Amino acid sequence: MKRITLFLLLALYLSLQAFAQIRIGVDAGMNLTHFKSSDNYVQKIGGMGTGFQIGGTLDYEFKKHWMLMSGVSFMQTQSRMEMEYGMLPRFPDAKIKLNHIVIPLKVGYKFKISKTLSLIPSVGMYASYNFSAGDCPLDIKSPADGKKIHEKWNPMKGYTDAFYISDLPYELYRINLNPLRHWTYGGIAGLKAVIGRHYTLSFQYYEAIKRIQYQCSIRDYGYQLSVGYIF
């Protein structure tokens, strides 16, 4: 019985020691997001869009200050761009507004600058589940007369329409924008400042590896700035 008691006490002690290295926190902030295309089907319109994020963090510190950093966050992003469907027509101004559930997994190293300040550079990967944030403005250059038409579209559902380019019924021109994918993943790198053991200031850059839409071959990327609190 004594051996069992000692074993349980030792297991409890080791568990508490391991838990002591785990830091749970919350953070929130803003992001700047846009898209890249390897096929030159996207051109910037109006620069990056501004969004926000909020979530929780989970950091584990190993010996010699190496860290494994994760968590989960809700992020909303938006951007404007020019998109093509073949050669004609062109979508001169398409807005993409999305919601994301993001789970990162990063490796970091903790540099202790002073008693009240530590800096943690990190690098890793993330997975993102993307879902609708509602309808967005979409401008279409009509294939019939070249005039701009103002429409609405949902990026997660895509857009489809048809235009008659003459009085002949067989000259019906159909256009579409494919919906965006729900699952993407990419790389992420950042720097976190821990102030007074509890307060944090973080900056991150992320860029998707998997294309969020195949038709225009676009991948999202952006910057995040957050403040937080570690318990």
Q: What stretches of 8-89 adopt beta strand conformation (E)?
A: 22-37, 42-61, 66-84
Q: Is residue 3 part of a domain?
A: no
Q: Cα-flanking dihedrals φ and ψ of residue 177, to 5°?
A: -115, 125
3-state secondary structure of 209: coil
Q: Is residue 60 part of a domain?
A: yes
pLDDT in tens, the chain (231 residues): 666 666 666 665 555 455 558 889 999 999 999 998 876 666 667 778 999 999 999 998 887 789 999 999 999 999 998 887 665 557 889 999 999 999 999 999 999 999 999 999 999 999 999 999 999 999 988 777 778 889 999 999 999 887 776 665 566 777 888 999 999 999 999 999 999 989 999 999 999 999 999 888 889 999 999 999 999
pTM of the model: 0.86
CATH no. for residue 191?
A: 2.40.160.20
Convert 194-224 to b/e letters by CB count within 10 Å (16 or more is b): beeeeebebebebebeebbbebbbbbbbbeb
Q: Is residue 19 part of a domain?
A: no
CA dihedral 222, 223, 226, 231 (to 10 degrees): 70
Q: How many domains does the chain have?
A: 1
Cα three-residue angle 43-48-51, rounded to 5 degrees = 140
Q: Is residue 15 part of a domain?
A: no
Domain that holds residue 215: 24-230
